[in-house]
Amino acid sequence: MKINLFGEYKSGNNIFYYLLIAIVVLSIVQIIFFPGTNLSTDRLSYLHYNIVKFKLRLPKKYQEDADKIKVKIFKDGRTIKGITGESAVKMNLTDNGKFFEGDFPVPFSAEDGHYIAKAYKDARQLGWDSSFLISSRRPQPNLKGPLKVLTMESTKRLDKLRIKTPSGETKGYEGIFNWLDYIGGNTLWYMGGQTASYRKDYLSKDMPWVRSNLESIKEFSKRASARKIKFGAWVSCFMAFGKSSLKPDWYSYSYQYDRHKEKLIQTDGISITDPRRINDIIKLVKRFNEEENIDYIGLDYIRPAGGGLELVEDFIKAMNVDVPEGWENYVREEKMTWLGKIVTRPKNRDIPIINKWNWWRAHRISKIISYIRDEVKLKKPLWVFILSWELGHQHGQDPVMFQDAGADLIAVMMYQADAVQFNYTINEWKKYTRGRNLNIVPGNQFDWPLHQYSVLPSGPEEFQRRLVKSVDYLNPTGNLKGLFIHDFSRAIRGRKGPYSTQEWLMAAAEGFNRLDAGTKDITLSLLLPSAANSKKEVSGTVKIKNQTDKKLMNLKLSLHASKDMGLSFGEKAIESIESREEYKVDFKSRVEGSSGKHLGRYMVTARLVHGDKKYISSEYLWIKDISLDRYIKFR
């Protein structure tokens, strides 16, 4: 057994700790024997949201050439570039003239490992090398199986909810558990805290959260636990919902620049610099942390929701940004406008500042996540919702930085994109996360407009495709930990288009089912012809393959179809399937309706239950002779 630098027992060789020891020894030797030239860092190891701070001591003769003093960083013999593509860190002489100082923000998703820093004047190295490590926080939790999450984002009182269950029975809010079980889910995430003002004096400084949600948490989580469903509660952090004119006046708000109107505007995003808001979030997370039946805690709108231009002065100072002449005479609004114009125009000359702006906002949010976790003394896994476009960077988010700061699960919102943008985005996430140790939970939202009113493929079909592709693309990276489906209230009362609640939910079930690919006892598949005519009987087949070495007993098969589509049976009991046997069930279907709302795309889903396991397979049938109602999206 060996003891590492921190007094913890470690067995076997551990290169990480040997490197730390070597760095300490070399630093001490350099200080003692080479006092005239000393390059040092403020710590030995850095996470991805940290800034490496260099200090360089040189003889006075170098002060005359201060602008020529640079620090270059190397890893495995390669020069490492900074977040703006620069190959060297600019060193500035301190006020007292004794040291040069420079900052190196750890680049997005930098490799873990040992880095070497060298000081130069022109091409000549000055003094000895300096070393540091970049490392990653190991995420939690160690999940036994994939998370299959259905979210609920609603401020409606639970006792007012009436939900039609899969069996057709109308229930109260507990109907959501019936649906979650039916589609093969295992986890419910509920919006526990939102600041929303719809009438005057509804919120107060002591209670800045919607009461109905907080009053529901204890009962809702207890009922979920009784149904053996994991429960999570999340906080909408830096956003005020409702009427803008009624937003709480005790908070400070974020600013953004509207380049079309060419003016600065205050948004409904609460500033991430507001200490009262951060304290309110901490109080609520503490409450969730102590609730017995809450298994996960989440943070949404964990970003500068309005753009964050009020951060301009801190940003300029921290990131060493060149400013216009006479900057010291600019008033605050002029400074925000100057930065706003730059970050809202995609010019090549602005990219370095935009990159710094995106990194620095993610850095600030990471520090807030770390602070919340430390202040709460969090006992439960923490997830964060992160936007998917540009890996979250354009909104001041980054999955690697957020995980290092304390997030255990990264819930990636793979929506608000068209099909082409989605395909591009999922490829970017695949490349960015490969080789990292992340807990990624991608998600999609029940919403026809967010699927571009798609009818060919149908809305639920495109929704399902994106879920399945998220699994197929991210699973090989080793980072996929589940899927989330957002959100149940939208599935029952949202913008569903011409498609039923059941169609959207069964499409979600296909996504959950994909998570189990390669580990299932049963392979379920559904065969239909690709096209047919209306009112003509169509034959289909359900294939059930027993992949185990034992006989399977007591299975139940059910079929579901789009509205106006009839099936020859709804449910069928299967007594047994022999080991390695492929069992077939034939059925008939017919589209009876004449409506063109579906534009000819009709869904059939097979659902198989064996014990507590659910298997789903869906196919779509094109009914060629139905006249198309091309204007359905305007109705």
User: Stretch 355-382: mean pLDDT, rounded?
Assistant: 97
At which of 515, 545, 561 does a domain end?
Answer: 515
Question: What pLDDT score was predicted for residue 60?
Answer: 81
| 495 Cβ contact partners less than 8 Å away, ≥ 6 residues apart | 447, 448, 449
Q: Which of 180-189, 203-212, 275-284, 595-604 has the lowest mean pLDDT?
A: 595-604
Looking at the structure, tell me whether residues 19 and 75 fall in a common domain.
yes
Question: What pLDDT score was predicted for residue 77?
Answer: 93
Q: For position 538, which CATH number holds? A: 2.60.40.10
Cα-based distances in Å from 32 to 5, 37, 131, 436: 22, 11, 17, 39
Looking at the structure, tell me whether residues 397 and 438 fall in a common domain.
yes
Split at pLDDT 50, 70, 90, the class of 294 is very high
Question: What pLDDT score was predicted for residue 625?
Answer: 79
Strands 78-79 and 51-57: unpaired
Residue-wise pLDDT tens digits, 381-418: 999 999 999 999 999 999 999 999 999 999 999 998 89
Split at pLDDT 50, 70, 90, the class of 628 is low
358 found inside a domain: no
At which of 495, 515, 535 does a domain end?
Answer: 515
Amino acid identity for residue 278 in this structure: I
Domain housing 444: 147-246+277-304+381-515
User: Stretch 360-380: mean pLDDT, rounded?
Assistant: 97
Looking at the structure, tell me whether residues 510 and 529 fall in a common domain.
no
Split at pLDDT 50, 70, 90, the class of 28 is low
> Cα–Cα distance between 149 and 447 in angstroms, integer?
17
Residue-wise pLDDT tens digits, 129-181: 999 999 999 887 667 779 999 999 999 999 889 999 998 899 999 999 999 99
Question: What pLDDT score was predicted for residue 601?
Answer: 87
Residue 282 φ/ψ, nearest 5 degrees = -60, -45
Residue-wise pLDDT tens digits, 499-521: 999 999 999 999 999 998 777 89
Looking at the structure, tell me whether residues 124 and 165 fall in a common domain.
no
323 found inside a domain: no
Question: What pLDDT score was predicted for residue 64?
Answer: 80
3-state secondary structure of 300: strand
255 found inside a domain: no
Question: What pLDDT score was predicted for residue 11?
Answer: 39
Looking at the structure, tell me whether residues 444 and 404 fall in a common domain.
yes
> Cα–Cα distance between 469 and 510 in angstroms, integer?
11
388 found inside a domain: yes
More confident of the two residues 535 and 187: 187
Looking at the structure, tell me whether residues 293 and 407 fall in a common domain.
yes
User: Stretch 465-494: mean pLDDT, rounded?
Assistant: 94
User: Stretch 433-448: mean pLDDT, rounded?
Assistant: 94
Looking at the structure, tell me whether residues 74 and 174 fall in a common domain.
no
Looking at the structure, tell me whether residues 425 and 530 fall in a common domain.
no
Split at pLDDT 50, 70, 90, the class of 563 is confident
Looking at the structure, tell me whether residues 404 and 281 fall in a common domain.
yes
Split at pLDDT 50, 70, 90, the class of 7 is very low
| Torsion angle, alpha carbons of 116, 117, 119, 123, to 10 | 60
Q: Which of 172-176, 492-496, 563-567 has the lowest mean pLDDT?
A: 563-567
Split at pLDDT 50, 70, 90, the class of 596 is low
Question: What pLDDT score was predicted for residue 38?
Answer: 86
331 found inside a domain: no
3-state secondary structure of 195: strand
Question: What pLDDT score was predicted for residue 282?
Answer: 98
Nearest CA among 38, 111, 121, 122 for reference residue 80? 111
585 found inside a domain: yes
Q: How many domains does the chain have?
A: 3
User: Stretch 181-197: mean pLDDT, rounded?
Assistant: 96
Looking at the structure, tell me whether residues 421 and 529 fall in a common domain.
no
> Cα–Cα distance between 614 and 166 in angstroms, integer?
14
At which of 134, 159, 175 does a domain end?
Answer: 134
Question: What pLDDT score was predicted for residue 37?
Answer: 63
Residue-wise pLDDT tens digits, 9-19: 333 456 666 66
Report field, pTM of the whole predicted structure over 0.85: yes
375 found inside a domain: no
324 found inside a domain: no
Nearest CA among 256, 253, 306, 310 for reference residue 276? 253
Question: What pLDDT score was predicted for residue 534?
Answer: 83
**Quick check: 300 and 386 in contact, CB under 8 A?**
no
